[in-house]
Amino acid sequence: MPVTAPPRSSDGTRRHVLSFDVEEYFHVEAAAATVRPADWDGLASRLAPPVDRILDLLAEHDAAATFFVLGWVARKQPGLVARIARAGHEIASHGMSHQMIQRLDPSRFREEIIDSRKLLEDIASAPVAGFRAPTFSLTHKTAWAIDELAAAGYEYDSSVFPVRHDRYGVPEAPRWAHRAVGPGGGSILEVPPLTLRAGRANLPVGGGGYLRLFPIHLIGLGLDAAGRAGQVGVVYAHPWEFDPGQPLLPMGRLTRWRHRVNLHRTESKVRWLLRNYDFCDFRRCMGALRSAATEQFLYGTEA
């Protein structure tokens, strides 16, 4: 089935959002049980080469992206963050410590979102408006984080995946941009990653391991469906997914398969998406996202 690029919206913004979670290969949740934060300083960074390849790809296709940068990375490699910003891309927060929200109490989470934003704004010399939690860990159980993000002045969040998964997910959450309301009444624009409706379930086609595992045309079908619905689709990836030569980390067989499946295909798939679709960062698509966010959803109460 042919996949066609959706038209630009009437206000000139591009239709879909491309984003990257900037973290090292050893930061992944798949390795959290065996690679502790205390071990990170002793592991060699492999981040700069794939980030540079991504920047080259984006420049080649005249595309902009949002880079959700981990504070730990920004402290270690401020020059890398500055390079991304100088290339014209949006810098957003991925927290400080790459801990799933449920491992943090509200006080620690508040500290992370405030400190990471200040650090990134100082490096990028630009406002930081967006946040994405490690491992999409904003769920009903961690819905208090919405109140904290709203109180801290963040403009948007992209931490809710409306799917069923063993680590994360709010399957009944809206699939498109909406107003997320926390148990304390705080509200923020929530923009979930791309899903494709399959029967009664949402198929996660927005990126990461799903981008590597699924046929690329399935992601195209998801973007086409978003375009027909007048919605902005959000695609994401990680720089470490452009690095098939990364060292093996100690993890179980299934977890290792999840982490490494088709790493050698990530770059070609992202290149295909850039050839066939127009992408922007969140800030450039903000008008279209706000206009589309007509639904409100209360988090913190199981369906």
Residue 261 pLDDT: 78
Average pLDDT over residues 35-52: 95
**pLDDT-derived band at 12, boundaries 50, 70, 90:** very low
Summarised one tens digit per residue, pLDDT across range 72-128 is 999 999 999 999 999 999 999 999 999 999 999 999 999 999 999 999 999 999 999
Q: How confident is the model at residue 66 (pLDDT cuts 50, 70, 90)?
A: very high
Please name every residue paired with 179 in a beta bridge, in sequence order, or none if there are none.
189, 296
Q: Is the pLDDT of residue 56 over 70?
A: yes
Q: Is residue 232's pLDDT more than 70?
A: yes
Q: How many CA atoms lie within 13 A of 106 on its CB side?
A: 15
Q: Does residue 4 register a pLDDT over 50?
A: no
What's the rounded Cα separation, in Å, for the pair 109 and 124?
Answer: 22
- pLDDT value of position 14: 47
pLDDT at 163 over 70: yes
**Predicted confidence band at 258 (pLDDT cuts at 50, 70, 90)?**
confident
The answer to whether residue 37 scores a pLDDT higher than 50 is yes
Summarize pLDDT for 262-295 with one digit per residue, the tens.
899 999 999 999 999 999 999 999 999 999 999 9
Residue range 163-188: average pLDDT?
Answer: 91
Class for the domain spanning 16-298:
alpha beta
User: Is residue 139's pLDDT more than 90?
Assistant: yes
Give yes or no for residue 130 having a pLDDT over 80.
Answer: yes
Domain boundaries, the chain: 16-298
Please state whether beta strands 201-204 and 90-93 pair in parallel, antiparallel, or not at all (unpaired). Answer: unpaired
Q: Kindly report the average pLDDT of the chain as a whole number.
A: 91
